[in-house]
């Protein structure tokens, strides 16, 4: 009886501990002239700045609003309202009180209307994180155009001028990252910066160096440990490492495993029917396949779709005649996407006949040149 009572007590303690681990959010405030309008909060899951819906409320007649609930762990989130931009917040269990002012939306300062009364360093870090995201979006757009201009430049003077501008933009990015680290390397928000701003676009070396600047306490937070493991996994995906094995479902309901293609050079293409850049890349992938398939090249398209009809329709319309597999769970819930650290598409891996990674993250001409090189050896 005593043992049974002890076990019951332990079970109650475990259940209480699980409930206690939940993070409550209590967001209240006043929206000037906002009566009848809707304000919502969306969490930044897996660095997705569009977010996952969490909660919403209609502003009362007196302009007040309240959003209250729980999340399963500390998270960054976006407080959003139509035509009034957004404010990035950190859900850490502390109450938030703010005023939303009536003002014109500005893409340069989307958080302008939101005035947080109890600003903390973590809340400021969340703002700095999303400010970098917005600035980097513009920088990457600019760098894309500069890259095209550099290829078309017909004089040394033009090439040198464009190269200096590329260098200036890159330095601006680096300076902004350095400023974040100087101010917030000891903030619980710092690991979220990697997830939101770095995993999609930056090299392993950049990400690891950034993470190494965090304080030991931040590295031991839940998100800090998660990012440490993501970096370790990226290192395991470096060229020369064995490609992680996987098996997924084909359009006809069969199964295809990576090991089934051992002895071939394999191009793994992570894509989706809804991804414009992926479809833009397909003519290049088709040309590579047509040139080298008879010599042993295999391509596996791993779709991030969650709609089977859309997936199959895209394959047929684009004439993609190579192997195709999908979990039909989208990108965030696909186990193979997590295994290969896919946070943005298109993403390519080239696997050698021995099952080891030869190259990754190549695009356009880079892919064709690498495949040409492999078949010329």
Residue 284 sits in a domain whose CATH number is 3.40.30.10
- Domain co-membership, 253 together with 371: yes
Strands (E), 17-140: 23-31, 38-43, 52-58, 64-71, 75-81, 86-91, 96-100, 114-116
Q: What are 214-241's pLDDT values in tens digits?
A: 999 999 999 999 999 999 999 999 999 9
Query: What domain range is 289 assigned to?
Result: 247-376
Max CA pair span of the chain: 90
Question: Is 33 part of a structural domain of the chain?
Answer: yes
Quick one: pLDDT at residue 17?
Answer: 44
Domain count, the chain: 3
Quick one: pLDDT at residue 147?
Answer: 78
Report field, pTM of the whole predicted structure over 0.75: yes
- Domain co-membership, 179 together with 146: yes
- Cα–Cα distance list, 348 to 183, 284, 351 (Å): 36, 12, 10
- Cα–Cα distance list, 124 to 81, 150, 155, 247, 308 (Å): 20, 38, 46, 43, 42
Average pLDDT in the chain? 88
CATH number of the domain where residue 56 is located: 2.60.40.180
- The residue out of 99, 119, 139 marking a domain boundary is 119
- Domain co-membership, 287 together with 328: yes
- The residue out of 236, 268, 287 marking a domain boundary is 236
Q: What are 74-131's pLDDT values in tens digits?
A: 999 999 887 777 889 999 999 999 998 876 666 666 677 888 988 899 999 999 998 8
- The residue out of 90, 119, 148 marking a domain boundary is 119
- Domain co-membership, 288 together with 185: no
- Domain co-membership, 363 together with 271: yes
- Domain co-membership, 176 together with 156: yes
Q: What are 145-204's pLDDT values in tens digits?
A: 887 888 888 888 888 898 998 899 889 999 999 999 999 999 999 999 999 888 877 888
Distance CA(191)–CA(188), nearest Å, equals 7
- Domain co-membership, 38 together with 63: yes
- Domain co-membership, 157 together with 106: no
Distance CA(203)–CA(194), nearest Å, equals 11
Supply the DSSP string of 143-172, one letter for each residue.
HHHHHHHHHH--SHHHHHHHHHHHHHHHHH
């Amino acid at each position: 009886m005593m043992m049974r009572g002890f076990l019951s007590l332990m079970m109650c303690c475990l259940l209480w501990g699980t409930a206690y681990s939940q993070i409550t959010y209590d967001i209240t405030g006043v929206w000037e002239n906002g009566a009848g309008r809707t304000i919502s909060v969306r969490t930044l899951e897996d660095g997705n700045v569009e977010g996952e819906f969490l909660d919403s409320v209609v502003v009362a007649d007196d302009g007040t609003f309240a959003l209250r609930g729980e999340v399963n762990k500390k998270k960054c989130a976006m407080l959003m309202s139509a035509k009034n931009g957004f404010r990035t917040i950190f859900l850490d269990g502390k109450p938030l009180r703010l005023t939303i002012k009536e003002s014109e939306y500005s893409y340069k300062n989307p958080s302008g209307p939101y005035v947080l009364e109890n600003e903390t360093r973590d809340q400021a870090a969340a703002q700095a994180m999303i400010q970098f995201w917005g600035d980097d979006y513009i920088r990457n757009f600019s760098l894309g155009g500069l890259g095209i201009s550099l290829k078309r430049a017909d004089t040394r003077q033009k090439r040198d001028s464009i190269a200096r501008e590329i260098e200036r933009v890159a330095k601006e990015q680096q300076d902004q990252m350095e400023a974040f680290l100087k101010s917030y390397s000891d903030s619980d928000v710092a690991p979220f910066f990697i997830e939101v701003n770095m995993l999609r676009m930056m090299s392993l070396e950049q990400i690891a160096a950034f993470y190494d600047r965090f304080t030991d306490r931040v590295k031991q937070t839940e998100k800090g440990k998660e990012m440490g493991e993501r970096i370790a996994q990226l290192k395991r995906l470096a060229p020369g490492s064995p490609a992680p094995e996987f098996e997924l479902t084909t359009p006809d309901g069969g199964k295809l495993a990576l090991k089934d293609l051992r002895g071939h050079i394999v191009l793994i293409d992570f894509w989706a029917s809804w991804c414009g850049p992926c479809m833009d890349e397909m003519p290049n992938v088709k040309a590579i396949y047509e040139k080298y398939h008879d010599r042993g090249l295999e391509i596996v398209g791993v779709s991030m779709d969650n709609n089977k009809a859309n997936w199959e329709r895209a394959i047929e319309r684009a004439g993609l005649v190579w192997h195709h597999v999908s979990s039909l769970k989208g990108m965030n819930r696909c186990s193979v996407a997590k295994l290969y650290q896919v946070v943005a598409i298109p993403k390519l891996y080239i696997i050698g006949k021995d099952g080891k990674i030869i190259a990754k993250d190549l695009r356009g001409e880079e892919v064709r040149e690498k495949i040409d090189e492999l078949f010329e050896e």
